[in-house]
Structures are given as structure tokens and as C-alpha cells.
Amino acid sequence: MTEVNGYEQSDREQHIDVLNLESLEPEAEKIIPTGGFGYISGGSEDDWTLAANREAFTHKQIYPRVLSDMDNPDLSTTVFGVNVKTPIMMSPLAAQGLANSQGEKDTARAFAAEGAFMGQSTYSSTSIADTAAAGNGGPQFFQLYMSKDWDFNEALLDEAKKAGVKGIILTADATVDGYREDDIVNDFQFPIPMANLIQFSEASGQGKGIKEIYAAAAQRISPDDVKRIADYSGLPVIVKGIQDPNDADLAIGAGAAGIYVSNHGGRQLNGGPASFDVLPAIAEAVNGRVPVIFDSGVRRGSDVFKALASGADLVAMGRPFVYALALGGAMGVQDALQEINEEFKTVMQLAGTKTIEDVKHAQLADFRY
């Protein structure tokens, strides 16, 4: 443990037992300080959407398929022109220094080692350059919380471009922060500064709550912003937080190169539907024009399968990998990613799907439980 501004920060670097990704949460809760754990694990209001995100995966089921004359499923896929070894990706979760002193660098190391996409957050504990360097050439996205200050935005985009990211994820569902009761109960302020804020703005984020951090972000985002970011950066822009087919159309019309279906892990608009439930209609609206990334509630190999079969091209997870980060650093994250890859591979085999393309064409059942 390292104490930073009174916060007991894990500095573990070790292999961990990963029975499954859900089993990591109670273990991580033991070593991440209450405020940090509440920030990572909590949703907004009474966590109804957070819970619905998990429940929704039971609304569809995977048909076991036999006599399919295949073995050794291939998890690799090409998205945004990048060939990755798995469709599983790291969500651009903020402030990973809350979990480990190596922060996003360790997450980047693990995802790069497994040939998987990694998303960096604007509010990362480590800088764009450092995280990219740790990723050692692995494919990364940079997630932008658009600031009111365009100089800041441009500085971040410049830096991200310099770091070689494959695209910009523009988070559009957080023009204000969701009502996060855990943070209120815990009176949580970030004990650890945010590297990009230190470097490119006058603030550091430290000692502030997420509400104050977001207050500096743009509270009004329009299609023009998508275009402006794409034009400035020359990079593909992926709009994150889409939950409505109309918004997918709006984003693509504004030049979005990708649609990121997410409800921010149940942390923003509580009372919204489960992210998995809205995915099919959005995928239908997108209709292959651009790739679709999905997150919110994914924990199992079967969830990954269901999301891909419902229209996703990449399936992201955040919290479980941050728990693994706390428990074991880069080694822990890699262990967790291997485990979920293995679960997913088993599901692929038992569903008779040899390739990711096969998974995308699998028909799901929709019995009601």
C-alpha cells in the first residue's frame, strides 16, 4: 500500500485467482478505500439502471449448437481497421489510480499483452503519453470529456494523436453528472490528481468531487462538436453514451466513425433502460455504417456473446478490470482478461460459432424468465 494524500492506494503487482469477473468485486472492496470503491462501483440514484444492466442479459439466451463441425474458436476480429485478438475491450474508466499506484499504465500493459483495445479516459490518473507508452503499441482510444475550454480540448487531441490512438471516444452522456449517492454518502473527493488536467489545464482534479470535475466539462454538446473534433484531430470519432436509435443517426450524420452504446455503467441517467435492451434497435439503425462498441453490465463470456449477436463489434468492460488492477496490477488485469476470453471461447464453441463473424450472425432466443 502507498498512502497518497491520506488515501491507501494499492501497489500490488501479482497474479490473481479469477474464478470469474464478478468474484473480483468483493475481493477488491477489501483493499480499495471506501470512497474510491464507492466511486468505482456505484451507479446513480438508487442503482436501478445499474441492476437492470445485469438483469437484461437474461432477456436473451444463447442456443447451444451441436454437430457444427468446428473446434478451436477464433476470437480475433478487425475493427476500426485494427486486428485485435479479442472483441473484449477496456472501457475508458476514469481515475484508475484509485485502484493502483500504476493506474492506467498497468491496464494498458495488460490489454496490450493480450492484443486488445484499451480506452484511456480524459480523467486518467496517468498521462496520455505515459499510458500510451505503457501500452507499447497496443491499440488505444482516447476518451474525451469535452471541456468548455477549447484550448484544453485541442491540447488533449494533439497529445492523443501524438500518442497514436486509433480514435477519439467522445463521451456525450455526461453533460452533467448523474446523481451519485455513494459519493454523497462517502463525501468523496478525488485524492489523486488527474494527469491530463495537471498537464493541460489549471486544475488537477484532486480534492474535487465528480460533480465539480464535470462542471468544467462542456454541459452542452451538439452534432457540430463531433464534426469539429473529427476535423481538428483527423481521427475517427466514436460517440459514447448512445441509447436511442435517433441519436445514433444524429451522430453518424455529424460524422461519427463509431457508435458507443453505453449508459455509463448505470452512473448517469438512472431510470433509463438497460444498455443491452436498447442495443438491437440501435444496431439496426446503424445498419453496419460504422462499428458499434457496447458496454454496461457485461461480466460473463455469455454476455459478450449476446452483445456481439445483438449488433456489437466490440464489447467493453470497466469495473471488473479495475478491481483486477487493485488486486494484482497489470498481472491481475491480464489474468482477468484471459479468464473472460476463456469463458467467451467456451461459449463460442458450445454455440457452434467458429469466428466472431459467426457469433454476430447467431440467433438468440428470447424466452422470458
Of 234-263, binders to a copy of itself (CB under 8 A) are 239, 241-244, 246-247, 250-251, 254, 263
**DSSP one-letter string for 88-154:** EEE---S-GGGT-TTTHHHHHHHHHHTT--EEE-TT-SS-HHHHHHHHTT--EEEEE--BS-HHHHH
* One-letter identity of residue 279: L
Burial (0-12, 13-18, 19+ Cβ within 10 Å), 231: exposed
Interatomic CA distance for residues 114 and 198, integer angstroms: 30
Q: Does the annotation count 59 as an active-site position? A: no
369 touches a copy of itself by CB under 8 A:
yes
Footprint (CB under 8 A) of a copy of itself, residues 201-230: 219-226
The interface with a copy of itself within residues 52-111 (CB under 8 A) comprises 52, 55-59, 61-72
* 310 near a copy of itself, rule: CB under 8 A: no
Q: Which of 15, 59, 264, 361 is catalytic?
A: 264
301: contact with a copy of itself by CB under 8 A: yes
Binding-site residues for glyoxylate, in ranges, read: 39, 145, 180, 264, 267
Binding residues for FMN, as ranges, are 92-94, 121, 143, 171, 240, 262, 295-299, 318-319
Orientation angle between helical segments 245-253 and 223-233, nearest 10 degrees: 40
Count of beta carbons in the 10 Å neighbourhood of residue 278: 22
C-beta of 91 vs 268, nearer to a copy of itself: 268
280 in contact with a copy of itself (CB under 8 A): no
What minimum distance in Å lies between the beta carbon of 97 and a copy of itself? Answer: 27
Spatial contact of 27 and 321, defined as CB atoms under 8 Å apart: no
- Determine, following the binding rule CB under 8 A, whether residue 335 of this chain makes contact with a copy of itself: no
Using CB under 8 A as the binding rule, the residues of this chain from 165 to 194 that contact a copy of itself are 172-173, 175-179, 181, 184-185
The span from the CA of 3 to the CA of 224, in Å, is 44
In the complex, minimum distance from the CB of residue 30 to a copy of itself, in angstroms, rounded to a whole number: 19
The residues annotated with a catalytic role in the active site are 264
